[in-house]
Structure 1
Amino acid sequence: MRAPPHSAPQTHDSVAAPPQRSKLSLYLDLIRWNRPAGWLVLLWPTLGALWLASGGFPGWHLLLVFVAGTVLMRSAGCCINDVADRDYDRHVKRTAQRPITSGQVSVREALLLGAALALVAFALALTTNLAVVLWSIPAVLVTIAYPFTKRFFAMPQAVLGVAFGFGIPMAYAAVLGHVPLQALWLFLGKIALVLAYDTEYAMVDRDDDLKIGMRTSAITLGRFDVAAVMGFFSAYWLIWLLVSAPSAQSAFFCIAFGIAAAQIVWHYTLIRGRTREGCFIAFSKSHWISFAVFCGIAAGLAGR
């Protein structure tokens, strides 16, 4: 995903000299430290899977491993993404001042930072079991590959969904030592969720992406983009409902899933006009849908 815009993107050919900043400030900007929505959309489904696999609270060790691992891998992914996109970002006003594109952070620095973050995440995986370690390998490989799929793949958001979804089978592997079928269904639901909210984001940048040759789901779906987003959200909601209801169903579970459904309807009102402002608000608030689902699962399991 790209960094959220604070104003409508505009292409340009010249870049103003960036103000001088400390290295720490630049590194924090590189990993999107001030934009937690980017890792919250990964965290809530991962924790939902962790709770389902454990039948309730998974213990502080696994909770710490998966919260920290989620933040670390998302941060490492940002480093890789900005290195891959540096020649594209300089042509868009809102991304031209990104640390790598503006020259304030070198490609080498960004790759070293990303590698360091990924190694810390891998060290956390080593405190669990072999199954988690094995699942972490394809997770890293897909994370590295994702930014480059935007050059040739019509739906790169699907690849992002796979990269973001690996936390689900890893959560089951951490608890059970293997990955059952229900985890794969939840994984599929997570891919649908990512397709939904990252298509909303791609709708914000559609005009600029067309100019610079990026491929996105918003471009591929064309006039069916809004219908597809609603379909993706609905698929996520239904899959997670069917998988989690047998073990977590309760009054609060039903209320929480109802709140998630209401948010999906709200997203339709935001994106149906295809305005940049509405689509960006929808994207930036999308983590509340999976937060409601997680709360329903956690409360349902606690009340058994």
Structure 2
Amino acid sequence: MQENEATPEDPNADGQVSDAVAGNWVDTRAPEWTRPYLRLSRADRPIGTWLLLIPCWWGLALAMLHDQSPRWEDAWIALGCAAGAWLMRGAGCTWNDITDRDFDGAVERTRSRPIPSGQVTVRQAVAWMGLQALIAFCILLTFNIQAIGLGVLSLVPVLIYPFAKRFTWWPQVFLGLAFNWGALLAWTAHTGRIEAPAVVLYMAGIAWTLFYDTIYAHQDTEDDALIGIKSTARLFGEKTGPWLRRFLMGTVGLMGLAVIFALLDEASILAMVVALAGPWAMGWHMAWQLRGLDIHDSAKLIQLFRANRDTGLLPLLFFIAALFL
């Protein structure tokens, strides 16, 4: 057997990250020299890109509903947000791994990441982070000046987030601030200004992030307790279920308000009803997750976390349908 071939005793001998999607394209098809960098960007775990991108598409779709004036340039905003989400998620995750390299080495699930496992150096990771951010900035420059300003401002929560777990039990709030910024940015890229519906939609996204990332954080509660990392999962413990129900209600209620504020003046009653069905459907999908929740089953936790791609896409489908009414 070749030296770098994975064995049952050492499933990460080829450098795979322990919580990566099985058979992902990075581990099976990407050139070998690129794999550590793509793993830094979480390209082997695409759910994070979806969770960053979906609020962008919410904001864009709701903005088009708000002024009833979809334009061809909106297609570029949607594509630009997709490329930017992949790049900035990669840059953000690289920054997270740089700042958390000592913590990651002490946690079972994360010690196989590229920096603690020795696949890349910190200097290489910094260079890779800068390259991703630079390309993303070039894409941002194709948007209007207001959106460009918001894009630059988004770096503040991105830079703070990795340190939040050191000083607050609510680091998921900081993740929500960073991950849902696209709702504000895409709305502004279409309309040229921030308005109340975008802000309320942003708040709905933060509540959703508290929901799904609390589920995700339960995978690491034992290791986190040993090394002093704070999280909502540790804070809530066995009372996680009731807290997740509160986040569910906050997500649905705030998104419903965003829809009403956005469509009240211009859209038809039928379009309003169809658009409001979006947060309703999202709420049912979140309720389904709650029914299957077991905070002591890591396999179930990661399955539910990844299901949030579909959770977030559900209201988008209804927003798009409402555009044709």
**Normalised by the shorter chain, which TM-score bucket?**
0.7 to 0.9
Q: Is residue 40 from structure 1 mapped to residue 50 from structure 2 by the alignment?
A: yes
What residue is the counterpart of 1:214 in the other structure?
A: 229
CA distance in 2, matches of 1:64, 1:267: 30
| Cα displacement (A) at 1:101 | 0.8
Q: Deviations over 1:21-56 (max 9, x none)?
A: 933011111111121111111212210110111237
What residue is the counterpart of 2:198 in the other structure?
A: 183
| Cα displacement (A) at 1:241 | 2.1
Q: Which runs of 5+ in 1 are unaligned?
A: 8-20
CA distance in 1, matches of 2:61, 2:318: 11
What residue is the counterpart of 1:16 in the other structure?
A: none
Select which of 285, 288, 296 maps to 1:266: 288
Give the structure-1-normalised TM-score: 0.88
Matched residue type, 1:76? A
1:68 aligned counterpart, secondary structure: helix
Q: Is residue 277 from structure 1 mapped to residue 291 from structure 2 by the alignment?
A: no
CA distance in 1, matches of 2:168, 2:156: 17
CA distance in 2, matches of 1:63, 1:232: 27
Q: Is residue 78 from structure 1 mapped to residue 93 from structure 2 by the alignment?
A: yes
Select which of 286, 289, 294 maps to 2:311: 289
Q: Percent identity?
A: 30
CA distance in 2, matches of 1:38, 1:173: 23
Matched residue type, 2:254? I
Q: Deviations over 1:80-128 (max 9, x none)?
A: 0111111011122332221111111011111111111111111111111
**2:20, 2:44 within 8 Å by CA — same for their partners in 1?**
no
Q: Deviations over 1:176-226 (max 9, x none)?
A: 111001111011111101111000011121111111211111112233222
Q: Which runs of 5+ in 2 are unaligned?
A: 1-16, 22-30
CA distance in 1, matches of 2:248, 2:50: 17
Q: Is residue 138 from structure 1 mapped to residue 148 from structure 2 by the alignment?
A: no
Matched residue type, 1:102? S
2:166 aligned counterpart, secondary structure: coil
Matched residue type, 1:49? G
Matched residue type, 1:160? L
CA distance in 1, matches of 2:156, 2:127: 16
Correspondences of 1:1-304 after superposition (within 5 Å): 5=19, 22-55=32-65, 57=70, 59-245=74-260, 246=263, 247=267, 249=271, 253=275, 256-272=278-294, 274-302=296-324, 304=325
CA distance in 2, matches of 1:6, 1:29: 9
Runs of at least 4 residues off by over 6 Å: none
1:151 aligned counterpart, secondary structure: helix
**2:256, 2:276 within 8 Å by CA — same for their partners in 1?**
no
For the aligned residue pairs, the C-alpha RMSD in angstroms reads 2.2
Q: Which moved more, 1:238-247 or 1:40-49?
A: 238-247
**1:156, 1:216 within 8 Å by CA — same for their partners in 2?**
yes
What residue is the counterpart of 2:12 in the other structure?
A: none
Cα distance change, pair 220–281 in 1 and its aligned pair in 2 (3 A) = same
CA distance in 1, matches of 2:231, 2:190: 36
Q: Which moved more, 1:48-57 or 1:146-155?
A: 48-57
Matched residue type, 2:164? T
Give the structure-2-normalised TM-score: 0.82
CA distance in 1, matches of 2:182, 2:204: 13
**1:6, 1:94 within 8 Å by CA — same for their partners in 2?**
no
CA distance in 2, matches of 1:5, 1:25: 15
